[in-house]
Each structure stands twice: as C-alpha cells, then as structure tokens.
Amino acid sequence: MSRLQLQKQLVGLFLASSPSVWWSPTRRRLLSTRSLLAKRRNKKKRKMEKREDLRSILPYLPVVMRSSTLFWPSHVVEALKELARGPLHSHVDSGHILFTAIEDIRNSLSLSSNSLAPSTSLGYSLFFDELMTREESRKWFEEVVPALGSLLLRLPSLLEAHYENADKVLNVGAMIGTGLRMLDSQEAGIVFLSRELIAALLGCSLFCLFPDHDRYMKQLQIINFDQLFASLYEDYSQKQESKIRCIIHYFQRISSDMPKGVVSLERKVLPFEGDADLISYPNSNFWSTSAIPLCKFEVHTSGHIEDQSGEAVEVDFANKYLGGGALGRGCVQEEIRFMVSPELIAGMLFLTAMEENEAIDIVGVERFSSYTGYASSFRFSGDYVDERDVDNLGRRKTRIVAIDALCSPGMRQYREKFVLREINKAFCGFLYQFKYQKYQKILQENGWSSEQFDASTLTYMETSEEEISNHEFEKFQNNYQRMEQGNNIGVATGNWGCSAFGGDPELKAIIQWLAASQALRPFIAYYTFGLEALQNLDEVASWILSQRWTVGDLWNMLIEYSTKRSKGETTVGFLQWLLPSLYGHGARSFDGDG
C-alpha cells in the first residue's frame, strides 16, 4: 500500500469514528449555506440562459454562452492576458503589431478579416506609429493597452452582473426591464448600462471584436472602429485624426480612472394606433386645436448646445441610424457629439434605425474632450472636465435626445404631411410621457377641459378671487406645482435638420418651439450659430409671445404659410411673412389675410 493510499484510509477511519466532529452543528450549517449558495448560483445561471433580453443581443456580442455561463474562448483569454501584462510580455508596442494581435483575437472568435474595411491595418499603423508622438505612443502601449486587456477580460463577468441586476422597478408603478437587449423599431423600452460595462463594450469596438455579419439586415449601425481608422489612411484629414484623438483620449481617461455610475438609453415611440397608456401619434387636428400656451423662447447667437448650463434636454441632430457617420467620415453636429462623449456610441450596438414616430433618449454620458471648429475644421483641443451633477439613479445630468429630420426635403418640407412628420418627430423626442399623463389626470380630477386648464396656466396669477373660489384656486396651484416639481427641464436645440440635411431653419425653429410647448417644456434655448436667416428670430418670438398665442394659433399660421410656400404664392421666409414690419412692411393680421 502506498503512503497516499494509507493516508486516505486513516482519514476515512477518523471521520467514521468522529461523527461529532464532522457533523457538528457548525459544520452542518456551513454545508447547508454552501449548498444554498450553490443552488442559487445554478438557478441564476439557468435563469441567465432563459433571459429573452440576453438571447436577443447575444448574436451581436463577441462573448459566447455555454451551460448558462458567459465567457471568452480560451485562446482569446490567453491573448487578452498577454496584452494585460504589458509590451514586455505581449510585444505589442506599435500600431502594426497591435492590429496583428487584434487579427489573432478575431480569428479565435471565427470573425473573418474580409469583413473589415480593407485599409484598417494601415490606419492603425498610421495613427499609432506616425501621428502619435513617441511619448504618447509609449504611454498608450505601456499603460492604456494593458488596462484595456484587463477590462476586456472582465467583460463576461460585467455582463453577468449586469443581467443579475437588470430588472428594476423605476418609480412609475410598473416593472420595467432594463437589461441590454436589441431594441427594435416600434419597441419602446429602456436599457441601463454601467459606465464600466460601456467602457468594456467600446474596448471591443476598438479591437473590432463585434460580429457584423447581420447588422446591415437588422438596420443596425456599424459598431467596430475599422472604418474610422481605414478612412484616416485612405483619405487623410485633420478632422479625421481629431475624431480618433477624441476616442483615444477617452480610453486614456478611463484606463487611469474608471468612471462610476450608469447611462440610460431609451427608445421612445408615439404609437400610430390608440394606446390607453401612451400619447398616440398626433394628427393635424390635434395641433390646430391645441390650447396649450407657447413656452418661453430664448435665442443664443453664439455658443454650442452642449455648453448650456441650465436644466435642458440637448438635441442631437440625428441620422435615423443613431450616430450617423460618427464611426466613418462624418463630422457635423451628431458625429462631433459622439466623439467628445464616446459613451453615446454604446447605443449604436443595439438601437436599430428610427422610424418617423420614434426618438432616442440618452441620459448620463460624460463629456471627455474639448474641441474647436466644425466639419472639416473640427479639431481635438484637449481634455474636458465635465462637472455636471448626478441624479438619484446614478446618471450624470446630461440629457440628450436624438431626433432625425427629413433629409434633403426641398419644397416637400412645406407640405402639411411633412410639417406634421417633423413636428411629431420633435414632439416624440421632447415628450415626457409620465409628466403628460399627470397633466391629463389633473384635468380629469378638476373636471376641466384642456382649454380651461391651459388658460388658467397662462393667466392664473391675474385671476381674481371673484372668478374662482379660494379652495379651487389653491387646489389648482398645488396640482400644477406638483406636476412641475423635478421636471422643469427645457430644450436646448438649434438648426435641426438644416445645414447638411438641407432644411429651412425658420420652419424648423417654429416646429421645435411648438413641439416643446406641447410637450409641456418650460422653455426652449435656441442656438442659431449666427445664421443670417435667423437674425430676427428673437424679435419675432417676443412678438408672438406678446400676442399670447397658443400652440394651435401658431400651428395654424405655420400651415397657412407652408401652404402658400408650397404653391409658390410666397417666396419669403416664415419670419418675414409673419412679421413684415421687421423687414420694412406692415404687421400681418392674426387671421393671416394679405
């Protein structure tokens, strides 16, 4: 008998003769606890496999699932571990070698190199080996790449933790799933992602690890960074280099100090058919009969939307594919926003193209980069310290709404059908459904029509006690203040759907004002970017407010103008048509005659 066999036999005899030791109450409790924890883990794993949200997104993630566990294939684990050990172990110390390592990982994931843009490797080499300074390159490969290797190793566990905590009760009276999933067209829903998980997902984009074989058919944006780098080599420009520098700066920041908190990404839908719980897609009559007062209108002739310091939803002049050309050659308003706040890119992973009754709401992203210029003059200009506060859900108080305007609309933008399309798109983006529902509930509780309520909203400070009892007046004030509490968030916007999209800035300004007012936003901060066509916007808006027009009043005037414009009966802009006195003519009468 060997020594090992003898030891095992003696241990067995000891245990058999000492049940009081082995089966003590403490030991039994310990075994029971371990058994319970093991059962819970197995139950969670089984639950993970059955999750519809995970199953919907899994084909578009680089990790795999087996036996209800998410993991990297073993070859990928070894490659990421090598990267995490630094260039002395991985020998990854240049853009050329980095891309070779990326190709090896892609091969381990059975991702075809043919699916990447042809010049991707040359773009990585150009940026990291030639455009970076020697000191920048040293820090990148010695500090940032190893940190990204470690972060990607944690991706499976970050995803599992995400799904374990994904289902929450958001304080609206219903259970709402918040797990990462495919949010298809007409599927209203919200996803909450930790900022660390977003960083890991963006690391996968940098390493081009996302499967892309089915994304086009699914109406999804590109998500890997291959085209971003390939475009740099194929048609070099300083603006393309600056876009990449913004992204690289983000990775430098998060590799030294991982951000805390969460980001929410929501698909908002105005149903075409009636829904008892949601505001439906409005028709022209809805707008023409609206008695809601117009909100305050602030005009800013300089500055950027993202620089606004108040409480406002910031409008992303979006492509219907979220992000537009952010990961390609694009460099206008939406693309720039995605570069200076790269966490926005996470939405491109799972949010399919928007339809005309949809918008995308993103709350909680941080701005990391400063910049100058626009389009071809865009330049990365260094670090940006974002000092926005955090809300009670852990989101930075940066609220961005993506709404896509008509592209190259020409004269059709003046037809009522398309004016309606644009105003409903903006309304969908600006609408806070919960607040609107409270508004309707207050009407019902008081037995008021919307006309009575809105007139009171506009003039209640001037209403005498003889016209309304003290009790009713106090009840109205309390209800209105309760509705507004915590929701005094306006809209910061500008020339949406103009410039590259070709829309009429005067038309778009009025459309957004109407939509913001109808959505019960307290103000709209409008950035004209110095556009000459809007030089009288402030005066016209002030005049309209002095007339105490409602949403319906201004809508009817806009439709009258648009009809004349589409028929060729006028060629002047809406502002001059409405208030010709600013242009040396008499003021237009309210009924639109003349």
Do residues 202 and 168 lie in contact, with contact meaning Cβ atoms separated by under 8 Å?
no
Is 334 noted as a catalytic residue in this protein? yes
Check the annotation: does 485 bind a ligand: no
Check the annotation: does 374 bind a ligand: yes
Catalytic residue (choose from 314, 316, 506, 553): 316
Alpha carbon 536 to chain centroid, angstroms = 33
Q: Which among 480, 335, 467, 498 has a CA at the least distance from the CA of 405?
A: 498
Do residues 57 and 163 lie in contact, with contact meaning Cβ atoms separated by under 8 Å?
no
Here the tokens at position 54 are: 């995970």
User: What are the backbone dihedrals phi and psi of residue 226, each rounded to the nearest 5 degrees, phi first?
Assistant: -65, -45
**For residues 90 and 87, what is the distance between their CA atoms, to the nearest angstrom?**
5
Do residues 588 and 580 lie in contact, with contact meaning Cβ atoms separated by under 8 Å?
yes
Do residues 400 and 317 lie in contact, with contact meaning Cβ atoms separated by under 8 Å?
no
**For residues 238 and 228, what is the distance between their CA atoms, to the nearest angstrom?**
13
Catalytic residue (choose from 53, 82, 335, 553): 335
**For residues 129 and 120, what is the distance between their CA atoms, to the nearest angstrom?**
14
Check the annotation: does 186 bind a ligand: no
Here the tokens at position 399 are: 């609220």
Give kind and range of the element (H or E) at residue 539: helix 537-546
DSSP state of 127: I
**For residues 92 and 87, what is the distance between their CA atoms, to the nearest angstrom?**
5
**For residues 265 and 316, what is the distance between their CA atoms, to the nearest angstrom?**
14
3-state SS of 305-351 is HHHCCCCEEEEEEECCCCCCCCCCCCCCHHHHHHHHCHHHHHHHHCE
Q: Which among 586, 584, 560 has a CA at the least distance from the CA of 574?
A: 560
**For residues 335 and 319, what is the distance between their CA atoms, to the nearest angstrom?**
10
Give helix 433-446 / helix 450-459 axis angle, nearest 10°: 100
Catalytic residue (choose from 334, 366, 506, 553): 334
Here the tokens at position 112 are: 């075809």
Give kind and range of the element (H or E) at residue 155: helix 155-164
Binding residues for substrate: 319, 333, 374
Show binding-site residues.
319, 333, 374
Question: Annotated active-site positions, please?
Answer: 316, 334-335
